[in-house]
Copies of this chain bind each other. A is one copy, B any other.
Protein backbone atom coordinates (compact mmCIF):
# COMPACT_ATOMS: atom_id res chain seq x y z
CA UNK A 1 0.00 0.00 0.00
CA UNK A 2 0.95 3.62 -0.45
CA UNK A 3 2.24 5.81 2.34
CA UNK A 4 1.08 9.39 1.85
CA UNK A 5 4.26 10.57 3.56
CA UNK A 6 6.15 9.46 0.48
CA UNK A 7 3.81 10.76 -2.16
CA UNK A 8 5.43 11.60 -5.43
CA UNK A 9 3.98 15.07 -5.51
CA UNK A 10 5.73 15.93 -2.27
CA UNK A 11 8.99 14.91 -3.86
CA UNK A 12 8.37 17.06 -6.88
CA UNK A 13 7.52 20.12 -4.83
CA UNK A 14 10.51 19.46 -2.63
CA UNK A 15 12.83 19.29 -5.59
CA UNK A 16 11.48 22.50 -7.04
CA UNK A 17 11.98 24.36 -3.82
CA UNK A 18 15.35 22.87 -3.02
CA UNK A 19 16.69 23.58 -6.49
CA UNK A 20 15.59 27.13 -6.39
CA UNK A 21 16.82 27.83 -2.90
CA UNK A 22 20.12 26.12 -3.57
CA UNK A 23 20.59 27.96 -6.82
CA UNK A 24 19.84 31.28 -5.21
CA UNK A 25 22.33 30.62 -2.47
CA UNK A 26 25.10 29.80 -4.95
CA UNK A 27 24.36 32.63 -7.33
CA UNK A 28 23.91 35.12 -4.56
CA UNK A 29 27.18 34.29 -2.91
CA UNK A 30 29.16 34.55 -6.12
CA UNK A 31 27.51 37.70 -7.32
CA UNK A 32 28.10 39.27 -3.95
CA UNK A 33 31.76 38.31 -3.96
CA UNK A 34 32.54 39.29 -7.51
CA UNK A 35 30.26 42.23 -8.14
CA UNK A 36 29.21 43.49 -4.74
CA UNK A 37 25.57 43.06 -5.63
CA UNK A 38 23.00 40.89 -3.89
CA UNK A 39 20.78 38.78 -6.09
CA UNK A 40 17.90 40.94 -4.95
CA UNK A 41 19.59 44.09 -6.14
CA UNK A 42 20.72 42.53 -9.37
CA UNK A 43 17.18 41.42 -10.07
CA UNK A 44 15.79 44.89 -9.54
CA UNK A 45 18.51 46.58 -11.54
CA UNK A 46 18.24 44.27 -14.52
CA UNK A 47 14.50 44.70 -14.67
CA UNK A 48 14.94 48.43 -14.79
CA UNK A 49 17.71 48.11 -17.36
CA UNK A 50 15.37 46.23 -19.65
CA UNK A 51 12.57 48.75 -19.36
CA UNK A 52 11.98 51.76 -21.60
CA UNK A 53 13.88 54.75 -20.26
CA UNK A 54 15.28 52.46 -17.58
CA UNK A 55 12.31 53.22 -15.41
CA UNK A 56 9.37 51.35 -13.92
CA UNK A 57 6.55 52.19 -11.58
CA UNK A 58 7.00 50.85 -8.08
CA UNK A 59 3.91 48.69 -8.42
CA UNK A 60 5.12 47.08 -11.62
CA UNK A 61 8.45 46.36 -10.09
CA UNK A 62 6.81 44.83 -7.05
CA UNK A 63 4.59 42.64 -9.21
CA UNK A 64 7.53 41.34 -11.20
CA UNK A 65 9.69 40.52 -8.25
CA UNK A 66 9.54 38.42 -5.21
CA UNK A 67 8.79 41.43 -3.03
CA UNK A 68 5.64 42.89 -1.54
CA UNK A 69 5.14 46.61 -2.00
CA UNK A 70 6.45 47.16 1.47
CA UNK A 71 9.58 45.16 0.87
CA UNK A 72 10.12 46.97 -2.40
CA UNK A 73 9.90 50.38 -0.77
CA UNK A 74 12.74 49.47 1.51
CA UNK A 75 14.81 47.78 -1.17
CA UNK A 76 14.51 50.89 -3.31
CA UNK A 77 15.45 53.02 -0.30
CA UNK A 78 18.67 51.10 0.02
CA UNK A 79 19.44 51.25 -3.68
CA UNK A 80 18.78 54.96 -3.68
CA UNK A 81 21.16 55.41 -0.78
CA UNK A 82 24.01 54.02 -2.83
CA UNK A 83 22.92 55.97 -5.91
CA UNK A 84 22.20 53.03 -8.16
CA UNK A 85 18.64 54.12 -8.74
CA UNK A 86 16.56 57.24 -8.14
CA UNK A 87 12.93 57.89 -7.44
CA UNK A 88 11.15 60.35 -9.68
CA UNK A 89 7.58 61.55 -9.44
CA UNK A 90 5.01 60.36 -11.95
CA UNK A 91 3.62 63.38 -13.76
CA UNK A 92 0.25 61.85 -14.58
CA UNK A 93 -0.45 60.39 -11.14
CA UNK A 94 0.89 62.20 -8.16
CA UNK A 95 0.52 59.17 -5.93
CA UNK A 96 2.89 57.20 -8.06
CA UNK A 97 6.65 57.04 -8.28
CA UNK A 98 9.08 55.74 -10.81
CA UNK A 99 12.23 53.90 -9.93
CA UNK A 100 14.87 55.01 -12.44
CA UNK A 101 18.28 53.53 -13.00
CA UNK A 102 21.15 55.99 -12.58
CA UNK A 103 24.10 55.95 -14.98
CA UNK A 104 26.14 54.26 -12.30
CA UNK A 105 23.36 51.74 -11.85
CA UNK A 106 23.30 50.93 -15.52
CA UNK A 107 27.04 50.58 -15.57
CA UNK A 108 26.94 48.17 -12.65
CA UNK A 109 24.34 45.88 -14.20
CA UNK A 110 26.11 45.89 -17.53
CA UNK A 111 29.30 44.70 -15.94
CA UNK A 112 27.49 42.27 -13.66
CA UNK A 113 25.47 40.50 -16.33
CA UNK A 114 28.31 38.67 -18.10
CA UNK A 115 29.73 37.60 -14.76
CA UNK A 116 26.36 36.34 -13.69
CA UNK A 117 25.93 34.43 -16.94
CA UNK A 118 29.11 32.55 -16.19
CA UNK A 119 27.75 31.59 -12.79
CA UNK A 120 24.49 30.54 -14.36
CA UNK A 121 26.30 28.36 -16.83
CA UNK A 122 28.26 26.83 -14.00
CA UNK A 123 25.43 26.16 -11.60
CA UNK A 124 22.38 25.75 -13.78
CA UNK A 125 22.55 25.48 -17.52
CA UNK A 126 25.83 23.62 -17.51
CA UNK A 127 24.21 20.45 -16.25
CA UNK A 128 21.47 20.54 -18.89
CA UNK A 129 21.51 19.89 -22.60
CA UNK A 130 20.08 22.36 -25.05
CA UNK A 131 16.82 20.44 -25.33
CA UNK A 132 16.56 19.93 -21.60
CA UNK A 133 16.83 23.65 -21.12
CA UNK A 134 13.92 24.37 -23.38
CA UNK A 135 11.85 21.55 -21.90
CA UNK A 136 12.47 22.90 -18.45
CA UNK A 137 11.65 26.40 -19.54
CA UNK A 138 8.26 25.37 -20.87
CA UNK A 139 7.41 23.38 -17.79
CA UNK A 140 8.41 26.13 -15.44
CA UNK A 141 6.55 28.70 -17.46
CA UNK A 142 3.35 26.74 -17.00
CA UNK A 143 3.89 26.58 -13.28
CA UNK A 144 4.91 30.20 -12.94
CA UNK A 145 1.94 31.43 -14.94
CA UNK A 146 -0.38 29.41 -12.81
CA UNK A 147 1.15 30.29 -9.50
CA UNK A 148 1.93 33.94 -10.09
CA UNK A 149 0.16 35.25 -13.20
CA UNK A 150 1.03 38.82 -12.22
CA UNK A 151 4.65 38.24 -13.09
CA UNK A 152 4.08 37.49 -16.75
CA UNK A 153 5.57 40.65 -18.29
CA UNK A 154 8.91 39.76 -16.78
CA UNK A 155 11.99 38.95 -18.77
CA UNK A 156 10.93 36.53 -21.40
CA UNK A 157 8.15 38.75 -22.58
CA UNK A 158 10.13 41.94 -22.69
CA UNK A 159 10.43 41.75 -26.42
CA UNK A 160 6.72 41.17 -26.99
CA UNK A 161 4.75 44.28 -26.12
CA UNK A 162 1.08 43.33 -25.93
CA UNK A 163 -1.09 44.15 -28.98
Q: Is A151 an interface residue (CB 8 A)?
A: yes
Q: Contact size class for A?
A: 35 or more
A41 to chain B minimum Cβ distance, whole angstroms, is 14
Nearest opposing residue in chain B for A113, CB measure: B4
| Residues of chain A from 129 to 145 with CB closer than 8 A to chain B in the complex | 132-133, 135-137, 139-144
Evaluate whether A128 and B142 lie within 8 angstroms (CB atoms) in the complex, with A22-B147, A26-B147, A117-B9 already known.
yes
Distance between A70 CB and nearest chain B CB, rounded to angstroms: 15
Complex contact A66–B21 (CB within 8 A): yes
Contact with B along A38-65 (1 / 0, CB 8 A): 0000000010011000000000000000
Query: Is A78 in contact with chain B by the CB < 8 A criterion?
Result: no
User: Interface residues, chain A, CB within 8 Å of chain B?
Assistant: 4-27, 46, 49-50, 66, 109, 113-114, 116-117, 120-121, 123-128, 132-133, 135-137, 139-144, 146-148, 151, 154-156, 158-159
